[in-house]
Amino acid sequence: MRDTALTRRQLLAAGLGAGAAAALGSLGAAARAAAVPVGSVQTFYDRRFARSRLLAAALPQAARPRPVQGDVTALLGLVGPARRLAGPMVLQGVTTEIVPFCLEQYARTHHEVRLESRRLDRDLFAWSLTIHARSPAA
């Protein structure tokens, strides 16, 4: 007789896969709702995690995911004070939590931002950071 019982590992793998699909789907809906032109979307993945690149490529408008590895210093120029925004810009990805957190905190001092983030597993988060030029003080 064949054993058809699920192992704990199979159950966890199925749960993580379903959770990742649900998180990516909700982030996709948020990106479509923002109606941001394709050219202003940049996608990132954490090169330390093999699944990160695959999941990042599945995000909406993810033309060419770029690698990052924990240190976001090189990305701060995308959201800093010298960056003049003609329209909204979206940064998105599947990385560790520190990447979207640091980008949001730095961008918030210069622009209006909205971060959406979902935990995919112990290490990875799927996130979307929408950045708008700060409206002039009235």
Per-residue model confidence as pLDDT tens digits over 67-125: 997 788 888 888 877 667 777 889 999 999 999 999 999 999 888 999 999 999 999 99
20 part of a folded domain: yes
More confident: 2 or 44: 44
Taking the whole predicted model, whether its pTM rises above 0.75 is answered as no
More confident: 110 or 14: 110
**What is the rounded distance in angstroms from the CA atom of residue 96 to the CA atom of residue 127?**
10
* CA-to-CA separations, 83 to 56, 75, 95, 102, 130, in angstroms, rounded: 24, 12, 23, 16, 14
2 part of a folded domain: no
68 part of a folded domain: yes
Confidence of residue 38 (pLDDT cuts 50, 70, 90): very low
29 part of a folded domain: yes
Number of structural domains the chain divides into: 1
Confidence of residue 29 (pLDDT cuts 50, 70, 90): very low
115 DSSP assignment: E
138 part of a folded domain: no
Confidence of residue 45 (pLDDT cuts 50, 70, 90): very high
Q: Looking at 4-118, list the stretches that DSSP marks H as alpha helix, in order from N- to C-terminal side.
A: 8-34, 50-57, 98-108
36 part of a folded domain: yes
**What is the rounded distance in angstroms from the CA atom of residue 28 to the CA atom of residue 103?**
20
114 part of a folded domain: yes
Q: Within 13 Å, how many C-alpha atoms sit on residue 116's CB side?
A: 15
> Could you tell me the residue range of the domain that residue 111 belongs to?
8-133
104 part of a folded domain: yes
Residue 90 — φ and ψ, nearest 5°? Answer: -120, 125
Percent of the chain with pLDDT over 70: 67
Q: What is the pLDDT of residue 111?
A: 86
End-to-end CA distance of the chain: 76
**What is the rounded distance in angstroms from the CA atom of residue 50 to the CA atom of residue 83?**
31
User: Has residue 23 got a pLDDT over 60?
Assistant: no
Spatial CA neighbour of 115 closest among 102, 104, 126: 104
Q: Which residues contact 135 (CB under 8 A, 6 or more apart)?
A: 112
